[in-house]
Amino acid sequence: MNTYLLAFCSKSWEVQLMLLLKIFFKLACIIAPLVIIFITIIGFVGAVTSGKEEDLKENGKKLVKRLIAGLLIMFIPTIISFVFTKIVDGNGNEMIACFETATKERVASLKQKEAAMEDAEKKAQQILDEKTLKEAYEKEQKQKEKQKKFFLEARERYRRSQNSVSIANGDLFTPETKAIIEKHQNDFDYSNFRRVINSYGGFQGYVNELGGIFKKYYGKDVPPVECASDLQEVSEYVFGFMYLYGFDYYNGQKYCKWGGECGGSSAAPDAFYPSGVKHNNDGLSSPKNDFDKIVAGTKKENMTLNCNWTVDMVYYKAGLFGHAGQPTSSASFKSMGKNYKIIANAADVQVGDIVHFFRSNINKNDPSTWHDWYHVAFIGEVNKTEGYVVGYDGGSYYTNRKNFKWKDKIASGEFHGTKNWVAVRIADINQTC
């Protein structure tokens, strides 16, 4: 009981309630006798005025009752004290002490104490929240470091197993990727894509079935690539998925069928959009929204490509676009020329250089003269010994020929059939690994 009573008197609102009761009883002790006296006087005056003995006797009885009532009211605090001290709380008088010590000052003091405690709790919660956020951040950083370590170790394993910087060794894809594509390139088209993917338990299940480079890179955030072989591998991932599906070409106006031609309706049997079907109703796919989401059909099945968006898809996946100090679009050729190193000579190009093409003559070293831009690709392979470069091209060249690689002699000074080109180096990629 003691503990309860002490706890009861420890809050400001409880003391404030006792203070109100205390004030009420004090007022009652003052007002009640006055009311009794006033009513008694009026009663006796009335009885005397009437001159009836019966009225005087009746008022006498009422007077006795009123006096008893008044005494009871006056002794209510004493009665309450007796009840709580002797009956309810035989071991002490904490309740009465709380009642008797209830003052405005004590209420104010408790409120101040409660406010201080609330402030302390808020600060403690803030410290706890900051600690939780810090732990979450550190966990995220550790995960990123773990992922980076995974890619670095994979790259080292790849370096030790290869004798050439060209991972496909002159072919379109490595033997492993080529075998995967040949096995799965007729798995679905746009009409049954969802049903087939769902049969694998979702897109991750389908990727697990594909294996190889597709499983290695799908859903992974790649650290900015540092080696030529890394960029080639990421390129094989992006171009490999495009080949596996059979992407069409669409740039908002021009439409070309996979394994067909531009403006026509015929397509190769492995096309995502078969002959007679075009996907040009709901705009272009968006490389900035993540190539992985495009091939997974996260929002809609929009398996189309064009030259600059294919470069973007590869370079975003390779971690070379979108971060601080990096470009955001390969179509921004003038700003790219102003902000990064210009490569004007064919002999100086290297893997990773982005190549822009123009219809008119330009001064390669002066971006202000770069007009009539019509195409972009990037250098995927360089063989100085045999004197040629290989461009990786995600335009209609790819969809029409089912081949994204064009090969040119360095000595000719021409790339992709023209001398009106200029290369831009956005990153110094190691050419020997």
> How far, in Å, are 119, 227, 228, 232 from residue 431 at the CA level?
61, 6, 5, 11
Torsion over CA of 271, 282, 193 and 270, rounded to 10 degrees?
0
pLDDT of residue 95: 63
Three-class SS of 129-156:
HHHHHHHHHHHHHHHHHHHHHHHHHHHH
pLDDT of residue 59: 65
pLDDT of residue 2: 43
d(CA 205, CA 361): 50
Residues counted in the chain: 433
Say how many C-beta atoms besides its own lie within 10 A of residue 235's C-beta.
28
- Classify the phi-psi angles of 283: left when phi > 0, otherwise alpha if psi is within -120 to 50, otherwise beta: left
C-alpha closest to that of 404 among 412, 386, 416: 416
Alpha helices in 246-306 (DSSP H): 291-296
Reading the chain (433 residues) residue by residue, the pLDDT tens digits are 444 444 557 787 777 777 787 777 777 777 777 777 777 677 666 656 666 666 666 766 666 676 676 666 666 666 665 555 554 444 445 666 676 677 877 778 877 887 888 888 888 888 888 888 888 888 888 887 877 777 766 655 555 444 446 787 779 999 999 999 999 999 999 999 999 999 999 999 999 999 999 999 999 999 999 999 999 999 999 999 999 999 999 999 999 999 999 999 999 999 999 999 999 877 787 777 689 999 999 878 899 999 999 999 999 999 999 999 999 999 999 999 999 999 999 999 999 999 999 999 999 999 999 999 999 999 999 999 899 999 999 999 999 999 999 999 999 999 999 999 999 999 999 998 8
d(CA 96, CA 74): 17
pLDDT of residue 1: 41
What tokens does 379 get? 């250098």
CB 425 within 8 A of CB 341: yes
